[in-house]
Chain A
């Protein structure tokens, strides 16, 4: 099947670091995206990984291990505005997107 697994909800403290994990089916892979979606809004693009390793973009970093079918999104120096859902999205061999259900991140003061 085509499954994206990510935690349903996570809670973290303002100023801390949080890692959101995602696993996917390794057959048919053309990249892994992370999107941020605030409640009631459209998703916004955060990162794209197609090769193994860590991609850093300011406070956000994304990691990929293709052999393990594993990715994570790392958020540093958490701010209250980071409270949102984070969507892990796999692009398959046909360039179709497979969406995870999202991880709701709750930031507490």
Chain B
């Protein structure tokens, strides 16, 4: 069964508004979660590593003020796309390792398809 739950599955918003995406680990505590973005026909690109109780680590080129990540509990990380623009339209996916260890496979949420009009 699914070990990572992501919500919403899809969202359409107007340019300039903010959108929050939730990622929950089910039945396990995820001290670290990962946020990816995937444009059509391209590979996953890591945006940031979300660390429970501390600031997220962003990849080069990812604006931390635009993509706000909060990992306030061991089972929930949120990604907020602030002041969204059409170029932010993409497929956003979160993941966590389970079992929790460095070399465990990632389990992904179902992803959120964001369309900014």
Contacts and interface: CB of A to CB of B under 8 A. Distances in A.
Contacts of B111: 41-42
Interface stretch (B64-72, B78-86, B100-108): B100-108
Chain B interface residue bracket vs A: 10 to 19
Interface of A, helix, strand, loop or mixed by DSSP: loop
Given A87-B44, A100-B43, A40 B105 contact: no
Given A30-B103, A91-B103, A95-B103, A44 B42 contact: no
Interface residues of A, number: 19
Given A30-B102, A31-B103, A45-B105, A99 B110 contact: no
B46 A97 contact: yes
Nearest to B101: A95
B110 A42 contact: yes
B110 A95 contact: no
Interface string B88-117: 000101010000001101111111010000
Given A87-B43, A100-B43, A101-B43, A44 B108 contact: yes
Nearest to A31: B103
Interface in A21-65: 30-31, 33, 40-45, 48, 50
B16 to A, nearest CB: 26
Interface in B41-71: 42-46
Contacts of A102: 43
A42 B95 CA distance: 9
A95 B102 contact: yes
A95 to B, nearest CB: 4
Contacts of B91: 40
Interface of B: 6, 42-46, 91, 93, 95, 102-103, 105-111, 113
Given A50-B103, A95-B103, A99-B43, 8 more contacts: A42-B95, A43-B44, A43-B106, A43-B108, A48-B103, A87-B44, A99-B45, A99-B46
10 contacts: A30-B103, A33-B105, A42-B95, A42-B110, A43-B44, A43-B93, A87-B44, A91-B103, A97-B46, A102-B43
